Chains A and B, each alone.
Chain A
Amino acid sequence: MFSNSSINSNGSRFACRSKAVLAGVILAATAATVSAADYKVLVPAAPGGGYDQLGRAVQATMQSAGLSRRVQVNNAAGAGGTIGLAQLINNSKGDGNALMVTGKGMVSAQYINNSPVTISNATPIARLTGEFVVLVVPRESPLKSMADLVAAYKANPGAVSWAGGFAGGVDQLTAGMIVQRVGGGAGKFNYVAFGSGGEVLSQVLGGHVTVGLGGYNEFASQIKVGKLRALAVTADRRIDGIDIPTLKEQGIDVEFVNWRGLVAAPGITDAQRAELVDAVSQMARSEHWKATLDKNEWVDMLMTGDAFRQYVDAEQRTVLQVVTDLGLVKK
């Protein structure tokens, strides 16, 4: 159905999207004299989710910044993004104008779904945004810190239920990494998968599960009114304006970012790749992009070119290790 590797929702995005598209149309018309390429952005998920939001934001920004006359966005949903990945690898070989939105969820999905193609087959261009995972408990919970949670887990691993998105998604990866780091009966790690961030939220609020995991934006409003207590955030250091301790300051050496970015088709020339990296970098430095990040509360995580290529390789190794240890992928 309309499953998505990213499950956060944002009510205001449609208004901002239509405005952005409108602005894009107007600017595209005035910028028609600029010699800029037409791009295709493949969104490997249904309209509405995190991948789609990023793809549409790239479209709007590229057009309004005059980096492209026309950016066409296509959705190819399914299997955690690996359907879209296969389309890019198989149908766009050597196409220097084809981009695809990708992210951490896809890295995991390619292993779990036993995908015949992987992100290594594509050409990495840039990491753009990121989102940190937070761990929350209901206000009434006796757990006040990660130390409490870890103690409860070590005392009786099965009794601690970790609620998050679908199996093998970023939430389970986060929980799995924490459990592996603190040790103590990973075999009894009790992860309960729910269909959406909203469901996780209501289950945590209702006290039906021990701890919930999800993107900060999904829980932010309930944390602010005090109905939820955030035990930790997976950032490497405290985020400005958000009073949640990191895992690291609580002695758990886990960092986790649900990043999203762009890859290009396989088999493109170095010149084509350099051109794409350049265009995306320019886009990411534009005022329009900064405004988009602010509006969506996305964390800027720009990383391009070779650095991003190495990052993707490292991510694939880490994620493969975690999903294998969790038993989601057979050795």
Chain B
Amino acid sequence: METFYALLSGFSVALTLQNLLLGFVGVTLGTAVGVLPGVGPALTMALLLPATASVDPTGALIMFAGIYYGAMFGGSTTSILLNTPGESSTIVTAMEGNLMAKRGRAGAALATSAIGSFVAGTIATVLLTFAAPFVVDVALKFGPTEYFAVMVLAFTTVSAVLGASPARGMASLFLGLTIGLIGLDSQTGQARFTLGIPELLDGLDVVVVAVGLFAVGETLYVATFLNRNADTIEQVKGSIWMDRADWKRSWKPWLRGTALGFPFGCIPAGGAEIPTFLSYGIEKKLTRHPEEFGKGAIEGVAGPEAANNASASGTLMPLLTLGLPTTATAAIILAAFQQYGLQPGPLLFDTQPELVWGLIASMYVGNVILLLLNLPLVGVWVKLLSIPRPLLYAGILIFATLGAYGLRNSWFDLALLYGIGVMGFLMRRYDIPVAPVLVGMILGPLAEQQFRRALAISQGELSIFVTQPISATVLAITALVVIVPPIWRRVARMRAAAIGHPIHN
């Protein structure tokens, strides 16, 4: 009941004219960047961060959250109509969605993804509303020991963002870990890898790295290889509404997608990609129309789209209650909190109830606005795709440059931005994913600090990690995550072999 009142007061914050407007701007911007391939929510927020320093924190965070889940809505449009995922989490949507569009069912595909996103986003927000206060109580039991155990789990599940080639993903991750070491060590005040440059004493700014890798790197890449690929945009033909059969085939995948997406969002480094793949796999197995998969099955759009939206809301759970960012986008939202001198964590609900509940309430409102924005106005969003790429990327580059310079009016940050941009370009060129760099540079130092704090408190006793119940449980889960899948595969292989050659045995 307390939660209910808190939520009501949250609505009184979210429904003020200013916050409604900022929420509207956020989801609109989110949809736009979601539609545009290569421009993601993390980049958009990183670019906006310096500009929002003087906006009040509640409004700014409402806008940022809007950008995040707005992008999940918008990403599907590009996937369906262009067969180029607007976001990495809408890769699966492109598979069946684009095929549906090719068969002239673009309207139904867009509708099921928009309504599915709405359903999933709303359910996930309800889960966040009622579970978060409970998680907060648990979170106070988390000391450095427990946090470190969670970090270990995060690192084992980080393979989610490593991409197709584990070797390349690991290279990228370790690059991030190395970058994370730069700066003053907070436990002893010693400088590490700063090369005597005072600007490096605080380490590299996550915003500069994100903007450099995503914006500058992507711009250089697009400028270099612009003419290599010509995309064809499918037209939206026929009704944008789903018929009876579509509804009947969509609602279960929506719910299943939500059930998959939300927990994955909560898990460190769970991200939105895995649940979309899982959802696709499950829908393919459960469908009554297996013959349609690979030709444009609506279930294959409905499930993954619900999953990626639910995961976006799920991400806010560890971020708000533990201060733990589980995706690159969440890391930027964390930077936004810190810009205002706010530290997300269990106490945020006590010290900043207006902000937290206003933010959560704004997500209900945002989902409604997004449904209205995305369904009837889909034609407008498609037009975005016809912006000439050179103009678009030139604009992005200007914003990136201004933003980096504005951080502290220093040419050093600019040099850094472009240095990292060139690195991002080379990584893109050689198919090395850039997201693990961010994950590494954020999780690495967190894990190190928690490890050393835990050991300081235990006076060097390593056994503390297995004698504390929460930590021991989390580490046991981690061990299972590492050990079980290979054993499972081996057992399955042996069983298959046994079935294959029963007579010889």
Contacts and interface: CB of A to CB of B under 8 A. Distances in A.
Given A14-B56, A78-B198, A112 B189 contact: yes
B185 interface: yes
A21 B248 CA distance: 57
B184 to A, nearest CB: 7
B187 A193 contact: yes
B202 A1 contact: yes
Interface string B46-74: 00000001111100000000000000000
A167 B186 contact: yes
Interface in B441-462: 449, 453, 456-457, 459
B142 interface: yes
Contacts of A75: 408-409
B37 interface: no
Interface stretch (A41-49, A94-102, A129-137, A175-183): A41-49
Given A14-B56, A192-B456, A76 B409 contact: yes
A113 B198 contact: yes
Nearest to A201: B347
Contacts of B234: none
A74 interface: yes
Contact of B335 (A1, A7, A167, A196): A1
B76 to A, nearest CB: 33
B404 to A, nearest CB: 13
A13 B323 CA distance: 22
A199 B408 CA distance: 26
Interface residues on B, range: 35 or more
Interface string B311-350: 0000000000001000000000001001111110111101
Interface residues of A, number: 56
Given A1-B335, A79-B184, A167-B187, A206 B140 contact: yes
Contact of B453 (A2, A83, A168, A194): A194
Interface stretch (A158-166, A230-238, A271-279, A286-294): A158-166
A182 B357 CA distance: 46
Nearest to B354: A11
A41 to B, nearest CB: 14
A328 interface: yes
Nearest to B340: A48
Contacts of B341: 4, 7-10, 48-49
Contacts of B408: 46, 75-78, 83
B459 A159 contact: yes
B199 A83 contact: yes
B505 interface: no
Contacts of B142: 206
A160 B407 CA distance: 39
A172 B408 CA distance: 27
Contacts of B354: 11
Contact of B56 (A18, A79, A206): A18
Interface string B401-431: 0000001111000000000000000000000
A195 interface: yes
Interface in B171-204: 184-189, 191, 198-199, 201-203
B339 A202 contact: no
B189 A328 contact: yes
A277 B184 CA distance: 35
Closest 4 CB pairs of A and B: A208-B143, A198-B343, A167-B189, A79-B201
Interface of B: 53-57, 139-145, 184-189, 191, 198-199, 201-203, 205-206, 323, 335, 338-343, 345-348, 350-352, 354-355, 407-410, 449, 453, 456-457, 459
Interface of A: 1-4, 7-11, 14-15, 17-18, 46-49, 74-80, 82-83, 86, 112-115, 158-159, 161, 166-168, 190-199, 201-203, 205-206, 208-209, 221, 328
Given A79-B201, A193-B453, A328-B188, 17 more contacts: A1-B335, A9-B341, A10-B341, A14-B54, A14-B340, A47-B339, A48-B340, A76-B410, A79-B202, A82-B201, A113-B184, A159-B459, A167-B184, A193-B186, A193-B449, A196-B338, A202-B139
